[in-house]
Amino acid sequence: MYFVKVSWGWTFLCLLPFIALTSYVATRSLGTVFRRLGALLVGSMIWFTCTKFFILIENATGTCYNSSALLDIRPGFTDKRSCISSGGFWDGFDISGHSFLLPYCTLMILEEAAVAHFVRFEKSWQKHLINFLTLSLAFLIFVWIFMFFCTSIYFHDFSQKLLGTSFGILGWYVTYKQWYLMPYSPGLPLRSANKEGKRGYNK
Protein backbone atom coordinates (compact mmCIF):
# COMPACT_ATOMS: atom_id res chain seq x y z
CA MET A 1 0.00 0.00 0.00
CA TYR A 2 3.05 2.30 -0.04
CA PHE A 3 2.21 3.34 -3.61
CA VAL A 4 -1.11 4.68 -2.30
CA LYS A 5 0.60 6.61 0.50
CA VAL A 6 2.39 8.69 -2.14
CA SER A 7 -0.64 8.92 -4.45
CA TRP A 8 -0.68 12.71 -4.27
CA GLY A 9 2.96 12.76 -5.37
CA TRP A 10 2.20 10.63 -8.45
CA THR A 11 -0.88 12.70 -9.25
CA PHE A 12 1.10 15.92 -8.88
CA LEU A 13 3.95 14.58 -11.01
CA CYS A 14 1.66 13.68 -13.92
CA LEU A 15 -0.64 16.70 -13.73
CA LEU A 16 2.17 19.28 -13.59
CA PRO A 17 3.38 18.88 -17.21
CA PHE A 18 -0.15 18.12 -18.42
CA ILE A 19 -1.63 21.35 -17.06
CA ALA A 20 1.39 23.39 -18.14
CA LEU A 21 1.35 22.10 -21.72
CA THR A 22 -2.39 22.24 -22.31
CA SER A 23 -2.68 25.69 -20.74
CA TYR A 24 0.14 27.14 -22.83
CA VAL A 25 -0.99 25.58 -26.12
CA ALA A 26 -4.56 26.77 -25.56
CA THR A 27 -3.78 30.34 -24.51
CA ARG A 28 -0.11 31.10 -25.31
CA SER A 29 -0.05 32.90 -21.99
CA LEU A 30 2.51 32.16 -19.29
CA GLY A 31 0.30 34.00 -16.83
CA THR A 32 -2.50 31.54 -17.48
CA VAL A 33 -0.08 28.63 -17.16
CA PHE A 34 1.07 29.74 -13.71
CA ARG A 35 -2.48 30.55 -12.68
CA ARG A 36 -3.69 27.07 -13.63
CA LEU A 37 -0.72 25.43 -11.94
CA GLY A 38 -2.00 27.07 -8.79
CA ALA A 39 -4.57 24.26 -8.69
CA LEU A 40 -1.73 21.90 -7.79
CA LEU A 41 -0.62 24.21 -4.99
CA VAL A 42 -4.18 24.29 -3.67
CA GLY A 43 -4.36 20.51 -3.93
CA SER A 44 -1.12 20.18 -1.98
CA MET A 45 -2.49 22.45 0.74
CA ILE A 46 -5.71 20.40 0.95
CA TRP A 47 -3.72 17.16 1.15
CA PHE A 48 -1.39 18.51 3.84
CA THR A 49 -4.13 20.12 5.93
CA CYS A 50 -6.45 17.12 5.87
CA THR A 51 -3.76 14.56 6.67
CA LYS A 52 -2.53 16.66 9.60
CA PHE A 53 -6.12 17.03 10.80
CA PHE A 54 -6.65 13.26 10.62
CA ILE A 55 -3.52 12.67 12.69
CA LEU A 56 -4.69 15.25 15.23
CA ILE A 57 -8.05 13.51 15.58
CA GLU A 58 -6.45 10.09 15.99
CA ASN A 59 -4.08 11.37 18.67
CA ALA A 60 -6.86 13.22 20.51
CA THR A 61 -9.18 10.21 20.61
CA GLY A 62 -6.64 7.44 21.14
CA THR A 63 -5.17 5.45 24.00
CA CYS A 64 -1.93 3.50 24.16
CA TYR A 65 -2.24 -0.20 25.04
CA ASN A 66 0.30 -2.94 25.61
CA SER A 67 -1.17 -5.07 22.81
CA SER A 68 -3.88 -5.20 20.17
CA ALA A 69 -6.09 -6.99 22.71
CA LEU A 70 -6.72 -3.52 24.22
CA LEU A 71 -6.69 -4.86 27.77
CA ASP A 72 -3.82 -3.11 29.55
CA ILE A 73 -3.37 0.62 29.11
CA ARG A 74 0.18 1.86 28.77
CA PRO A 75 0.20 5.23 30.59
CA GLY A 76 2.25 8.27 29.70
CA PHE A 77 1.65 8.37 25.94
CA THR A 78 -0.42 11.05 24.25
CA ASP A 79 0.25 10.35 20.58
CA LYS A 80 0.39 7.39 18.24
CA ARG A 81 4.01 7.77 17.15
CA SER A 82 5.53 7.67 20.62
CA CYS A 83 3.23 4.82 21.64
CA ILE A 84 4.14 2.61 18.69
CA SER A 85 7.85 3.45 18.90
CA SER A 86 7.83 2.16 22.48
CA GLY A 87 6.25 -1.12 21.42
CA GLY A 88 2.68 -0.25 22.31
CA PHE A 89 -0.55 -0.38 20.32
CA TRP A 90 -2.48 2.83 19.67
CA ASP A 91 -6.25 2.71 19.43
CA GLY A 92 -7.89 5.91 18.20
CA PHE A 93 -10.41 7.15 15.65
CA ASP A 94 -8.37 6.81 12.47
CA ILE A 95 -10.08 8.68 9.62
CA SER A 96 -9.07 6.87 6.45
CA GLY A 97 -6.45 8.89 4.63
CA HIS A 98 -6.68 6.54 1.65
CA SER A 99 -10.44 7.03 1.42
CA PHE A 100 -9.82 10.78 1.42
CA LEU A 101 -6.92 11.01 -0.99
CA LEU A 102 -7.85 8.45 -3.66
CA PRO A 103 -11.26 9.97 -4.54
CA TYR A 104 -9.78 13.47 -4.37
CA CYS A 105 -6.94 12.59 -6.75
CA THR A 106 -9.32 10.79 -9.11
CA LEU A 107 -11.79 13.67 -9.26
CA MET A 108 -9.01 16.19 -9.79
CA ILE A 109 -7.50 14.16 -12.63
CA LEU A 110 -10.92 13.86 -14.30
CA GLU A 111 -11.43 17.62 -14.07
CA GLU A 112 -8.03 18.46 -15.51
CA ALA A 113 -7.73 15.69 -18.11
CA ALA A 114 -10.96 16.67 -19.88
CA VAL A 115 -9.07 19.59 -21.42
CA ALA A 116 -7.25 17.25 -23.83
CA HIS A 117 -10.41 16.98 -25.95
CA PHE A 118 -10.53 20.72 -26.60
CA VAL A 119 -6.92 21.72 -27.22
CA ARG A 120 -5.43 21.49 -30.70
CA PHE A 121 -1.80 20.37 -30.68
CA GLU A 122 -0.02 21.34 -33.88
CA LYS A 123 3.47 19.98 -33.17
CA SER A 124 4.14 16.25 -33.19
CA TRP A 125 6.16 16.29 -29.97
CA GLN A 126 3.25 17.97 -28.22
CA LYS A 127 0.86 15.28 -29.44
CA HIS A 128 3.18 12.48 -28.35
CA LEU A 129 3.76 14.05 -24.95
CA ILE A 130 0.09 14.75 -24.27
CA ASN A 131 -0.83 11.21 -25.35
CA PHE A 132 1.73 9.80 -22.94
CA LEU A 133 0.54 12.03 -20.10
CA THR A 134 -3.11 11.22 -20.81
CA LEU A 135 -2.38 7.49 -20.71
CA SER A 136 -0.42 7.96 -17.50
CA LEU A 137 -3.33 9.81 -15.91
CA ALA A 138 -5.77 7.14 -17.09
CA PHE A 139 -3.54 4.48 -15.52
CA LEU A 140 -3.48 6.41 -12.25
CA ILE A 141 -7.27 6.66 -12.24
CA PHE A 142 -7.52 2.89 -12.69
CA VAL A 143 -5.06 2.26 -9.86
CA TRP A 144 -6.66 4.80 -7.52
CA ILE A 145 -10.15 3.35 -8.05
CA PHE A 146 -8.89 -0.21 -7.57
CA MET A 147 -7.03 0.71 -4.39
CA PHE A 148 -10.05 2.63 -3.13
CA PHE A 149 -12.15 -0.52 -3.38
CA CYS A 150 -9.41 -2.50 -1.63
CA THR A 151 -9.39 0.05 1.18
CA SER A 152 -13.17 -0.09 1.37
CA ILE A 153 -13.11 -3.86 1.83
CA TYR A 154 -10.06 -4.54 3.97
CA PHE A 155 -9.20 -1.44 6.03
CA HIS A 156 -10.86 0.83 8.60
CA ASP A 157 -14.45 0.74 9.77
CA PHE A 158 -17.39 2.25 7.92
CA SER A 159 -17.47 5.60 9.72
CA GLN A 160 -13.73 6.17 9.20
CA LYS A 161 -14.02 5.42 5.48
CA LEU A 162 -17.16 7.52 5.12
CA LEU A 163 -15.55 10.54 6.74
CA GLY A 164 -12.38 10.16 4.70
CA THR A 165 -14.31 9.91 1.44
CA SER A 166 -16.47 12.87 2.43
CA PHE A 167 -13.40 15.03 2.99
CA GLY A 168 -12.05 14.05 -0.44
CA ILE A 169 -15.29 14.86 -2.25
CA LEU A 170 -15.69 18.08 -0.26
CA GLY A 171 -12.19 19.21 -1.22
CA TRP A 172 -13.00 18.68 -4.89
CA TYR A 173 -16.43 20.32 -4.67
CA VAL A 174 -15.30 23.44 -2.81
CA THR A 175 -12.50 24.06 -5.31
CA TYR A 176 -13.72 22.98 -8.76
CA LYS A 177 -17.44 23.61 -8.26
CA GLN A 178 -17.26 26.76 -6.14
CA TRP A 179 -13.98 28.64 -5.68
CA TYR A 180 -12.50 28.06 -9.16
CA LEU A 181 -15.57 29.73 -10.68
CA MET A 182 -14.44 33.00 -9.10
CA PRO A 183 -11.95 35.48 -10.59
CA TYR A 184 -9.33 35.27 -7.84
CA SER A 185 -8.60 31.56 -8.10
CA PRO A 186 -6.59 29.15 -10.26
CA GLY A 187 -9.64 28.99 -12.51
CA LEU A 188 -11.21 26.03 -14.25
CA PRO A 189 -9.49 24.15 -17.06
CA LEU A 190 -10.67 24.53 -20.62
CA ARG A 191 -14.13 23.08 -21.00
CA SER A 192 -15.41 23.61 -24.52
CA ALA A 193 -15.23 25.82 -27.56
CA ASN A 194 -17.55 28.78 -27.65
CA LYS A 195 -20.00 29.49 -30.45
CA GLU A 196 -17.39 31.32 -32.54
CA GLY A 197 -15.11 28.31 -32.40
CA LYS A 198 -12.57 30.04 -30.18
CA ARG A 199 -11.10 28.13 -27.31
CA GLY A 200 -10.67 29.68 -23.92
CA TYR A 201 -10.62 29.09 -20.21
CA ASN A 202 -13.57 29.50 -17.92
CA LYS A 203 -13.28 32.58 -15.77
What digits encode the pLDDT tens for the residues 121-157?
778 887 888 889 999 999 999 999 988 888 888 777 8
What is the radius of gyration, based on Cα positions, of the chain? 21
Amino acid, single-letter form, for residue 175: T
> What pLDDT does residue 43 have?
94
What digits encode the pLDDT tens for the residues 87-107?
888 888 889 888 999 999 999
Which is catalytic among the residues 80, 98, 112, 141? 98
Amino acid, single-letter form, for residue 196: E
SS3 of residue 74 by DSSP = coil
- Mention every residue, 6+ apart, whose C-beta is less than 8 A from residue 66: 72, 73, 74, 88, 89
Distance between CA atoms of residues 14 and 137, nearest Å? 7
What digits encode the pLDDT tens for the residues 40-50?
999 999 999 99
Active site residue 98: yes
SS3 of residue 157 by DSSP = coil
Distance between CA atoms of residues 92 and 11, nearest Å? 29
Q: How confident is the model at residue 78 (pLDDT cuts 50, 70, 90)?
A: confident
Q: How confident is the model at residue 201 (pLDDT cuts 50, 70, 90)?
A: very low
Distance between CA atoms of residues 95 and 107, nearest Å? 20
DSSP state of 188: P
Q: Is the predicted pLDDT of residue 2 greater than 60, yes or no?
A: no
Distance between CA atoms of residues 61 and 180, nearest Å? 35
Which is catalytic among the residues 80, 156, 164, 180? 156
Distance between CA atoms of residues 111 and 11, nearest Å? 13
What digits encode the pLDDT tens for the residues 24-76?
888 888 988 999 999 999 999 999 999 999 999 999 988 888 888 888 888 88
What digits encode the pLDDT tens for the residues 153-190?
877 788 889 999 999 999 999 999 999 998 889 988 87
What digits encode the pLDDT tens for the residues 83-92?
888 888 888 8
> What pLDDT does residue 190 have?
76
Distance between CA atoms of residues 156 and 158, nearest Å? 7
Active site residue 117: no
